[in-house]
Copies of this chain bind each other. A is one copy, B any other.
């Protein structure tokens, strides 16, 4: 039994290894979870309460239109319900965007080493991805990306802002100029998963054009990663295109309910953003104490320089042996960093202790 030509040709890879598998394979009963940029500060208690009250009705499908949530999101973003599409997380929405806009053999562009799910979808739908490396300062190279786009004229260009894994923020006005410089046939897929950690005024202004799909999530600042829910801001025309191919009943009912309640709990969001800033500040101090540097981050994680890629890999392993789970970027020049998510004070302390011990161990490595 033969699969499609496309699927037979795909590599047998797993883009991410989850902490549960690391625990099974390494015999840990617990891990300090600082590897997936989850919120260590949890979901809003109001979201928990709202979901708890509705668990007995989980035998009902969720509203396939996610209407109540889209109404609340439309109010938040001062746009219409038709400009919003809810999906089961950004990975889902990114897959829909690639599927809707990248023909087989069609072009796509992204920074080499940015959030890998875009590349995964481009490969999975038979597109042709071209990349440019990050700058030595750890930023997505907007000039090189725009130049490549003008040459390749891709259907979709992916940009994460704030970026993952670097944490770098590109100011909204610069994003707007970059977007305007792209060819007419290129859609900008702007991944704003970490936008809730940034002042609105620093993000690109609201724009609804067929060439722009912005994706947001409840997985990060809102602390609902396990619920799988996010949304796209785009034109009604694009939303209707996604409507033709999406899983109509793909979004968990309780995720819709939790997201709606979370949106209404500003106090929790502000607290998470403040705690996250405190955590990153502490990591910066720790890095300085250890004689190294960080990349200034506007997300809920930060990259700490380990000097070289092999050493960063060894440190990730040494931390894991001590029960602390972080990840590291895979592509140069960021591959000499480890990426650690904002933790609670006890998680930060566990990380600091484990990192100090790991550094002693890894400096001694041959």
Hey, which chain B residues are within 8 Å of A251, CB to CB?
Answer: 228
Which residue in chain B gives the minimum CB-CB distance to A225? B61
Which residue in chain B gives the minimum CB-CB distance to A124? B245
Contact B58–A249 (Cβ < 8 Å) = no
A224 at the interface (CB under 8 A from B): yes
Contact A227–B243 (Cβ < 8 Å) = no
Among A104, A243, A245, the one with the most B-chain Cβ atoms within 10 Å of its Cβ is A245
| Cα-based distance from A4 to B96 in the complex (angstroms) | 11
Q: Using known A-B contacts A1-B211, A88-B247, A103-B5, determine if residue A59 contacts B225 with beta carbons closer than 8 Å.
A: yes
| Cα-based distance from A7 to B240 in the complex (angstroms) | 10
Interface of A is mostly: loop
Contact A67–B24 (Cβ < 8 Å) = yes
Number of interface residues of A (CB under 8 A): 82
Hey, which chain B residues are within 8 Å of A106, CB to CB?
Answer: 4
Copies of this polypeptide in the complex: 2
A227-265 interface (Cβ within 8 A of B): 227-228, 238, 240-241, 243-245, 247-255, 258
| Chain A 97-110 near chain B by CB (<8 Å), digits 1 or 0 | 00111111010000
A20 at the interface (CB under 8 A from B): yes
A251 to chain B, nearest CB (A): 7
Contact B16–A38 (Cβ < 8 Å) = no
Contact A3–B52 (Cβ < 8 Å) = no
Which residue in chain B gives the minimum CB-CB distance to A18? B64
Contact A248–B58 (Cβ < 8 Å) = no
A-B pairs with the 6 shortest C-beta distances?
A: A226-B253, A59-B223, A1-B210, A20-B63, A58-B226, A10-B244
Q: What are 6 residue pairs bridging A and B, where the CB atoms are less than 8 Å apart in the complex?
A: A10-B245, A43-B58, A52-B52, A60-B226, A89-B250, A227-B253
Q: List the interface of chain A (C-beta within 8 A of B).
A: 1-7, 10-16, 18, 20-21, 24, 33, 36, 38-43, 48, 51-52, 55-65, 67, 88-89, 91-92, 95, 99-104, 106, 124, 184-185, 187, 210-211, 219, 223-228, 238, 240-241, 243-245, 247-255, 258
